[in-house]
Structures are given as structure tokens and as C-alpha cells.
């Protein structure tokens, strides 16, 4: 967060807490380091200008390669310092707040009355979850009906065959016992 908003954010976080158990703020002054880097950068840039002048005065390929090698090293150092300076600028422009939350565990006392009412969690309608739940129930119902049919056929089937055979024999014997008119 931007450094200017640090105090406001800390006040808001304190306001959210029932009780602040610990608070620690730390910082590092980087002014000296930044000023040192600025000085080194100015010196390296001046050196870079002088080396460029030597490169213009080089008469042989070997001299040009040597001067160019020195110029590359100076340029790399300049870029490194600029990177450190940008990092320090960004770091000083922003603050980081780390918050550790822990639930308040009420201590039981016989006369204790709650001072805060918990905020109810709103129930959000989730049609996709309702669909999945209904699908699971339908699948379970269909399995239960299928199991009931299988149990009925396996357990009662032989008895039903026996009853059907007795009924058929009874009908057959009745017909056979009748005489044609």
C-alpha cells in the first residue's frame, strides 16, 4: 500500500479488532544508502563519458576492443546502481502490513454476558449445488428401487414359482375332474 495511507490502514485494522494482542512496526532508513548510490552513479557516468572519448581516439582495433570492454563494465555498473536506486524508491513509497488473526475464545464466567453479537453468515443461493444435490438424491433413489426389485425377485421368486405351480395344478385338476357335458 502507498506509505501515505499506512497510518489510516493501521487505525482501521485496530478498529476491526476486539483486542490487539501485539503490534510491531519497523522501518529502515535508506537515505544514506540512496545518497551513496547517487554519488557512485554520478562518478560512473563521468567515467563513462571519459571512456567514450577514449573510444573516439582509439586508432587500432585492439585499442577499440579494450576501451569497449571497459565501457561495457562501466555501463553494467551504472545499470546495477540505477536498479538499486529504483528498488529503494519503490520500497520507500510502499508499506507492507502483515496481520495475524486469532479467534477470541471466550472465558466461561457464570455472570458473563456476551458484549458482541456474532454476525450471521448470509446464505447464498447456489443453483449449481442444488442441482448436484438433487442429482445425487435421484441417483440414490433409483439405486434403492433397483435393489428392492432385485431382492424381491431373488428372495420371493422361488416362492412365487411354487405358488404359481400349485395354482396351475389346482386349475388343471379341476378341469380334469369335470366331465364334458
The per-residue pLDDT for range 76-132, each reduced to its tens digit, is 999 999 999 888 887 776 677 777 767 666 666 666 555 666 667 777 788 888 899
The rounded distance, in Å, linking the Cα atoms of 102 and 151 is 55
Q: pLDDT digit string (tens) for 28-67?
A: 777 888 889 999 999 999 999 998 888 888 889 898 899 8
The rounded distance, in Å, linking the Cα atoms of 97 and 2 is 11
- pLDDT at 1 (0 to 100): 63
Instruction: Give CA separation, 119 vs 12, 71, 114, 116, 125, in Å.
Output: 19, 66, 13, 9, 19
If one compares 171 and 104, the residue with the highest pLDDT of the two is 171
If one compares 45 and 5, the residue with the highest pLDDT of the two is 45
Amino acid at each position: 500500500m502507498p506509505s501515505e495511507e499506512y497510518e489510516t490502514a493501521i487505525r482501521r485494522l485496530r478498529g476491526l479488532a476486539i483486542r490487539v494482542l501485539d503490534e510491531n512496526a519497523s522501518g529502515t532508513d535508506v537515505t544514506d544508502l540512496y545518497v551513496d548510490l547517487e554519488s557512485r552513479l554520478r562518478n560512473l557516468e563521468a567515467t563513462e563519458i571519459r571512456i567514450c572519448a577514449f573510444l573516439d581516439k582509439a586508432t587500432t582495433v585492439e585499442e577499440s576492443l579494450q576501451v569497449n570492454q571497459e565501457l561495457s563494465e562501466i555501463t553494467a555498473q551504472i545499470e546495477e546502481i540505477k536498479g538499486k536506486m529504483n528498488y529503494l524508491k519503490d520500497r520507500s513509497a510502499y508499506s507492507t502490513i502483515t496481520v495475524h488473526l486469532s479467534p477470541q475464545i471466550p472465558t466461561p464466567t457464570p455472570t458473563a454476558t456476551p458484549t458482541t453479537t456474532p454476525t450471521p453468515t448470509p446464505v447464498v443461493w447456489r443453483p449449481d449445488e442444488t442441482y448436484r444435490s438433487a442429482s445425487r438424491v435421484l441417483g440414490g433413489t433409483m439405486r434403492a428401487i433397483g435393489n428392492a426389485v432385485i431382492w424381491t425377485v431373488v428372495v420371493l421368486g422361488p416362492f412365487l414359482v411354487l405358488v404359481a405351480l400349485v395354482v396351475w395344478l389346482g386349475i388343471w385338476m379341476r378341469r380334469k375332474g369335470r366331465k364334458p357335458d
